[in-house]
Amino acid sequence: MTLLGLFAGSAAAQPHDATWAQRKIDEAQCRTWALDQARAEYGPQLRQAARQQESMISAGRYSGSAAQAGVGLAGANIALLQLAQQGREKELFEACMIQQTSQRERITAPVAPRQTPQVPERTTPVRPKEPCAWGLYWNSTSGQCEKF
């Protein structure tokens, strides 16, 4: 046995990690949920289209090419609805997986404790008890009376 064969065999025998397993669980749950949602959304329309097709076939009102065209049109409608349902299922599945991933990252991401920046205390100059002289104003930045 070659070294490459030995390495490949040991790599294949390694179990999958917890992240992989959780992703598979999420995929199964999201796939089931998406399928159920898409069926709920498109089910009534598909049933209605199938009833229409069935009534065209069983009614026998039309003969020949008119009947075939009606049945074909109903069949095309069903096919389009099924494609729309599959597209919606895929869309819902992807949205579910994104949501599951973001929730998991929010839960598992270590959160560093918030640190408030150290701001040096500002010593505000104390205003003198006597008012500033006429023509002067108190400047709190410089802490003294200044001319206008």
Residues 16-60: tens digit of each pLDDT? 788 889 999 999 999 999 999 999 999 999 999 998 888 877 766
In this predicted model, what pLDDT tens digit does every residue of 64-73 receive, in sequence order? 777 778 788 8
Task: Note the pLDDT of residue 123.
Answer: 63
Enter the tokens of residue 58. Answer: 């069983």
Single-letter residue type at 57: I
Summarize the confidence of residues 77-88 as an average pLDDT.
Answer: 95
Torsions phi, psi for 16 (to 5 deg) = -75, 155
Nearest to 91 by CA among 43, 129, 38: 38
Bridging pattern class, strands 144-147 and 136-139: antiparallel
Rounded to an integer, what distance in angstroms lies between the CA atom of residue 75 and that of residue 82? 11
Whether the pLDDT of residue 113 is over 80: the answer is no
User: What are the C-alpha distances in Å from 35 to residues 28, 85, 96, 103?
Assistant: 11, 9, 12, 21
Whole-model pTM above 0.85? no
pLDDT higher at 135 or 23: 23
- Grade residue 141 by pLDDT with cuts at 50, 70 and 90: confident
